[in-house]
Structure formats: C-alpha cells, structure tokens
A and B are shown apart, each in its own frame.
Chain A
Amino acid sequence: MSPDLEEIWVYLSATPLLGLTLTLLAYQAAFWIYKRAGFHPVANPVLISVAILATLLLATGTPYQTYFDGAQFVHFLLGPATVALAIPLYAQWPRLKAMAGPLLIALVAGSLTAALSAWGIGALLGASRESLMSLAPKSVTTPIAMGVAERIGGLPSLTAVLVISAGIIGAVFGRAILRRLHVGDHAVHGFAIGIASHGIGTARAFQVSEQAGAFAALAMGLNGLITALSLPWIMPWVERLFAG
C-alpha cells in the first residue's frame, strides 16, 4: 500500500462511515443475490450479508467494535421497527381475536419446545454451561434474548449470534418443514415461524403474505414476553433436576 492509501485507510477505519456504508453495501449485494436466486430461502440476505462482513473484518483484521461504531445506526432502527409491528398486528386483529385460545396454547407449547429442546440437545452433546444458557433463549427477539441470557448465566453477545442463527435457520427451512406437515394456512405458517425464528422469521413471513407476517409478529412478541417472564425461573429448576 502506498503511504497515501494507507493514510486514507487509517482515517476511514477510525470513522463510523465505513462500517455503516459497508453494512448497507453488503446488504445490497446480498439482496441482489437473493433476487437473482428467485427469492429462494437458502439465499437468505441476512446470512449472505453476515458472511460478507465477517469475511471482510477477519481479512482486514478490523475489530468488531470498530465496525459496530458505524453499524450501530442500522442496529438502532430495530427499536422503531419493533414498535412499527403494531400496524400489521392491528390490520390482522379480527382474525387474531377469533383464534385467541388456540394461539395461546400453541404459544406455550412452542415456546417451551424452543427453549428446552435447545438446552437438552446442547447438554446431551456436551456444550458448556455458558453456551447452554446462551442457547436457551435463542428463539426470541435479540434484545429480550440478551437480557434473559444475562439473568440465567449465559453470554449476551454469544446469545445475539445464536438468536440470529436460529432466525436464519427458520427463515431458510421453515417453509419446507411446514409444507411437509401439510400446513397451508398462512396464519399457522406465520405463527410457527414467529415462535421459532422471531424477527428474521417475521421478515421472511412478510414475503409470504401480510397475514403470515402479522401472525409471525404476534408470535414473536408473545414468545418474547413469556420467555422473559418464565425462563429465569425455569432454567435453574431444569438444571437442578438434571444435575441431581
């Protein structure tokens, strides 16, 4: 590198502009690939964007914190976007109200399955305690999962990565699983994806239909709520039960 280029690099790597621009460029590239792949779920734009950015950070030796100083402006929009979910919820309210009883039962069944199976499978295969407690809240939206992980003895930032992985897995394979189970109803489809794969599943469900998206948003909100309230007292109890 000539001295001039090096100077430019030193300057750019110290401002938030680079991290922000790279995040948007990576997403544009990923979305272009997703579109070219005919919106095939395997070409998930979150997965491709993260792969591009992680490769760039590792190749240039850039610390994650430096990158995040810029990317935080995108990350911040998760807050208002979560609030905005009230609008599709409102639009689907008559259908949601009509299904309230079944939705609540499916919520409890799905939420417990998501947390306990993650813990159980991880424990059987010998994951460390910190990893297990970071896995348990992996199906709920990032900010709730990080808070829960902290309270039960997991690592919040590892939890964020596991949450996003669970989201991508549900977004990529959800439709294939539901087709195999002969689920045709967009309401059921959206609700199941929202329980297992929070916001990333919800983003994918909105591409299926507005109804699927609204049910996914409701499932995500409710699962976040009951997970935040229940896991902090369920997990110590589960641990005692299996340790003894």
Chain B
Amino acid sequence: MQSLDNETPAISDAPLCVQDLTVAYHRKPVLWDVGFEIPRGSLVGIIGPNGAGKSTLLKAIMGIVPLASGRVQIFGKPYRKSRESVGYVPQKESVDWDFPVTVLDVVTMGLYKKIGWCRPVGVKHRTLALQALESVGIADLANRQISELSGGQQQRTFLARALVQDANLYLMDEPFAAVDAATENAIISMLRTMKANGRTTLVIHHDLQTVPAYFDHVILLNMRVVADGPVEKVFNEDNLNKTYGGRLTLLDEVSEAMRRRERSL
C-alpha cells in the first residue's frame, strides 16, 4: 500500500482525504470501507459509540496501525510525506502521568523531530514550548512535575505539545473527556482561533449535546461512516439512531461471530 501511495497522483488537496479504509485487529474488523474528505479550515467532530473505531481511525490515518486496505492523503500527499503538517493529541489516559518529566519536557517532545536525532533540546526550543504553554494558559506550570497536574492541566499540556509543532491539520482524541468547565471553554475558544487562522481540526467527541455548538462538520462513525457532512444537514435523530442504535447491526453480528470462532480455535 505504501508503494502505491508514491505512484498515485493526488486525488484532492484537501487537508484529509480517506478512501476505502479498512482496519482489522487479529482478523477482527474494526473499520470497514471508511471514506470521507474534510474541507480546509473546518472544525470536524467524530462521534460514535464505544468501540466504533474512532481512535483506531486516527491511528490508521497516521499509519500507526496497519491498513488492511484503503488510502489516506493529507494535503494531497501520503502521511509519511506530510507528517510535519499534522499535529496529534492522543487520549490523555494513554500515558503514565507518574513519568519523571516536567510539563515543559512533555511540550518539547513535539519538537523532537525538528531538533533531530541525537541532538539536545536547546534554549530556542524551550522558548517555543513556553509560548505554546502560554497559549493554553498554563505557562506558570512549565516546571511542574506532570504527576502534580489536574485532568484539565494534563489535557492542556498535550494540546501545547501538538501546538508547538505549528501544524495545519490537527487530530485530537477526546480532548474534552474528563476536563473541568474552564478547560473545556479554553480548548473550544482555542480551536475557534485555530479555525480562524485556517487550520483544520478533527476532534473525537463524546458529548452529543455540544456537537452543534462546537463543530461545523460531523462524521458519525460506527465501524463504517454512517453519515458525514455539515452539522445542520447530517446531525439528526435518524442518523444518530443508525449510529448508536441499540440493535446489533448485521456487521456487529458478523464480527462477533468471527471473534467467537477465533477464541474457540
């Protein structure tokens, strides 16, 4: 697939274009034929029930999990060639916050690629990191040990690490999960500023109530794309029922059956 990327010309210069993406873990399908394109400068929410493959989708876009099939293009290029223009904010639960580093250390991690292999972090990079911390409002915590942070402050630290990269497309995994009201407001106003500056952001979101207020595009995902488009067009009860529907879909039943058989082998 990687070699295919090199040969195929750009199909679109959109910030993110996903085609026929399928991902499977141990033969258990997680994402089926996912395809969408997001317009430049938009603030896009991805919603869907637990286990719908939201995080996996982000990881697949960045090539962290192998694709069974499909293609991802970022600004018309494969991810490998456009890495510098993509900033990633993983779920804050994915790391051990007892790790012996400071807030500033974590933020400079966003610059490691720019600094280069085997070179130390310099004063210039620290200044950049401090600016990023200032933009998320926790510059005063720069030298704190990360285990002393609250949930909201942890999230702001992760955002600063992505911001310091000065990317054009941001992929964020549940930035609003378990943060205080002040942090939620700070993040959303930051996202709006970024949108005003022409940056594109893709956000995994779990709170359906705030979707119309926060996003202008939405992707409803449950192993496949149920609907995607402007919020006012696709964010309706019918589509939500299809996404969150209580009844197991045929697809779920098939994958469940495959998992059972796998276990019995």
> A and B from one assembly?
no
